[in-house]
Structures are given as structure tokens and as C-alpha cells.
Amino acid sequence: MADNVSKEEGNHLYSLSFSTKEPGLAIIMERYTGKEALVAHSKSDYYKAFTENDATH
């Protein structure tokens, strides 16, 4: 997913980190130019696939 997100128009930052203290905990930071870019991101197939597999979303 990182490769796709970093190429999106309006994406300025994508960072994925994993906790060294809590196994299975990942932190994703993303920054977009504005709401339109974020909405476009949330409509992508890879975003939908990712959130369908995430029980906390």
C-alpha cells in the first residue's frame, strides 16, 4: 500500500511504524493537501481492502 499512497496526487507524507513494545501495533501517518485528496485516497481499492481487514476501522 505504501507505494500506491506515496504516488497519489495530494499526498505529502506516508509513514508506517511498528511498536517495539506492543506486538501487532502499527502506526500510520499520512498528510494530504486537503480534504479532496483525502477523500480520493479513501475511495481507492487498496484503501478499501486495507480497512476491510482492519477490525478497528
User: What are the tens digits of pLDDT across the range 2-57?
Assistant: 777 878 889 999 999 999 999 989 899 999 999 999 999 989 888 888 888 765 55
CATH architecture of 2-52: 2-Layer Sandwich (3.30)
Domain residue ranges of the chain, discontinuous segments joined by +: 2-52
Using CA of residue 30, residue 36, residue 2, residue 18, what is the dihedral sign?
positive
Mean pLDDT over each residue of the chain, to the nearest integer:
86
User: What are the tens digits of pLDDT across the range 17-29?
Assistant: 999 999 989 899 9
Task: Measure the CA–CA gap between 36 and 3, rounded to whole angstroms.
Answer: 20
Residue 20's pLDDT is what?
95
Is 0.75 topped by the overall pTM?
A: no
Residue 54's pLDDT is what?
65
Rg (CA), the chain: 12
Query: What are the residues facing 15 on neighbouring strands?
Result: 29
Task: Match 482492519 to its residue by C-alpha cell.
Answer: 54
